């Protein structure tokens, strides 16, 4: 089975990692952990990025995403699964769906931020978009709401 695990470093994606590594998958299953780097577009009024260039910002984002995916890969590998990693630039919605199609994933697993109302409308829902456009089954891992 080919499982595409999409992560972004949030507690919600940590829950998805935990879910994948805690399950008894069929023998020979492979997990591909993917992270998407949203291209940075500075506001028109921003001339200098604290001495950084767009190229250096992108390089830093790529390094951080690689560390993130490698850390998750080590955790999943310890659970006895075969793991691959991938980091791509682009909108996470497209990156995840395209990666699943190109790789031939059987299942996509990702966390949900659980946004509702105006924040969902303004920011969009990666999980909702992936579920609507994925070429395979999608599991959206939700964290239970904490009650005080």
Distance from C-alpha of 109 to C-alpha of 33, rounded to nearest angstrom: 10
Task: State residue 49's pLDDT score.
Answer: 52
Q: Which residue stretches of the chain have pLDDT < 50? A: 117-123
Q: What is the pLDDT of residue 123?
A: 41
CB atoms within 10 A of CB 136: 16
pLDDT at residue number 112 = 86
Whether the CB-CB separation of 135 and 101 falls below 8 Å is answered with: yes
Give the per-residue pLDDT at 117. Answer: 46
CATH assignment, 7-39+51-136: 3.40.50.620
Residue 116's alpha-carbon distances to 11, 129, 146, in angstroms, are: 17, 14, 16
CA distances from 31 to 6, 52, 67, 115, 147 (A): 10, 35, 17, 27, 33
Q: Where are the domains of the chain?
A: 7-39+51-136
Per-residue pLDDT, 120: 41
Instruction: Please report where in the chains the tokens 């630039």 appear, as a residue.
Output: 89
pLDDT at 20: 97
* β-pair type (30-37, 107-111): unpaired
> Looking at residue 7, what is its pLDDT?
96
Q: Report the half-sphere exposure of 51 (CA within 13 A, side-chain side).
A: 0
pLDDT of residue 24: 94
pLDDT of residue 119: 42
pTM of the model: 0.85
């Amino acid at each position: 089975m080919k499982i595409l695990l999409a992560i972004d470093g949030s507690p919600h994606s940590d829950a998805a990692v935990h879910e994948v590594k805690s399950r008894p998958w069929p023998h020979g299953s492979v997990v591909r952990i993917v992270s998407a780097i949203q291209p940075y577009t500075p506001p028109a009024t921003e001339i200098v990025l604290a001495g950084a260039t767009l190229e250096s910002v992108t390089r830093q984002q790529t390094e951080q995403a690689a560390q993130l995916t490698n850390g998750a890969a080590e955790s999943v590998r310890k659970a006895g699964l075969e793991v691959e990693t991938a980091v791509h630039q682009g909108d996470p919605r497209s990156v995840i769906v395209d990666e699943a199609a190109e790789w031939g994933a059987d299942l996509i697993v990702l966390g949900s931020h659980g946004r509702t109302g105006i924040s969902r409308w303004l920011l969009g829902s990666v999980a909702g978009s992936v579920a609507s456009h994925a070429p395979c089954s999608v599991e959206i891992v939700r964290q239970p709401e904490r009650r005080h």
